[in-house]
Amino acid sequence: MLQFPLSRSLRFAPLALLLLALPALQGCVGVAVGAGAATGVAAAEERGIKNAANDKGIQLAINDKYLKENQYVWRKLSVTVIEGRVMLTGAVGTEYSKDEATRLAWAASDRIQEVINEVQVTNEGGVGATASDSWITTQLRTKMATDKEIVDINYSIEAVNGTVYLLGLAQTDAEIVKVTDHARTIKGVRKVISHVWLKTDPRRRPV
């Protein structure tokens, strides 16, 4: 994601309120209307409402940990979470900062199943730092959304310095192949790294 100013934490307030309200919303008719639209989207995902809320809680906890203990890491990295699997992406200047990102992530929540550190050690770019990376992400999301053989809502996409990182849950092996093939056809993509699991993968540990 883009680097944010220190006021970024204020943006989490509405989301935090929504998460607190999720248990009540789950029993309501018309949950996808108005403020409940986010819950409706979560219900359509393979991971479901409960896991989506748990993942958002983990993401917020990690970002809060970064903000309080290492603002350099907080500014440089993006945190993606699906079913307790945390993927860290971005670019930092030292191996120490990369390792610190993993350490702080694990310390932020006891609900984390895995931390996948894909942080690049380089002075080049960073998460969302270049127009090219933003363009790549938009192009891939569009290709996936218009492909009827892909359930695009189950995927998270990050592009850093031309490398595309995927995290999510796929319906079939063929779907994973289609997604990676779409990514490889986009101008500016250097590499595609997939951490996508099949929805039938026995390693899944949904809450």
pLDDT 10s per residue in the chain (207 long)? 434 344 333 334 444 444 444 444 344 444 344 445 556 667 789 999 999 999 999 999 999 999 999 999 999 999 999 999 999 999 999 999 999 999 999 999 999 999 999 999 998 765 555 789 999 999 999 999 999 999 999 999 999 999 999 999 999 999 999 999 999 999 999 999 999 999 999 999 988
Question: Is this model's pTM higher than 0.75 or not?
Answer: yes
The per-residue pLDDT for range 77-121, each reduced to its tens digit, is 999 999 999 999 999 999 999 999 999 999 999 999 999 999 999
DSSP letter assigned to residue 122:
S
In this predicted structure, what is the pLDDT of residue 5? Answer: 41
Q: What is the pLDDT of residue 63?
A: 98
Distance CA 78, CA 126 (A): 9
- C-alpha 113/C-alpha 107 separation (Å) is 12
How far is the C-alpha of 134 from the C-alpha of 176, rounded, in Å?
Answer: 22
**135-141 long-range Cβ contacts below 8 angstroms, 24+ apart:** 135/188, 136/162, 136/164, 136/183, 136/186, 136/188, 136/189, 137/164, 139/186, 140/164, 140/182, 140/183, 140/186
Distance, CA of 74 to CA of 25 (rounded, Å): 31
How far is it, in rounded angstroms, from Cα 105 to Cα 101?
6
Determine the pLDDT at residue 1: 42
How many Å apart are CA 78 and CA 105, to the nearest integer?
A: 12
Q: Rounded distance, CA 78 to CA 96, Å?
A: 17
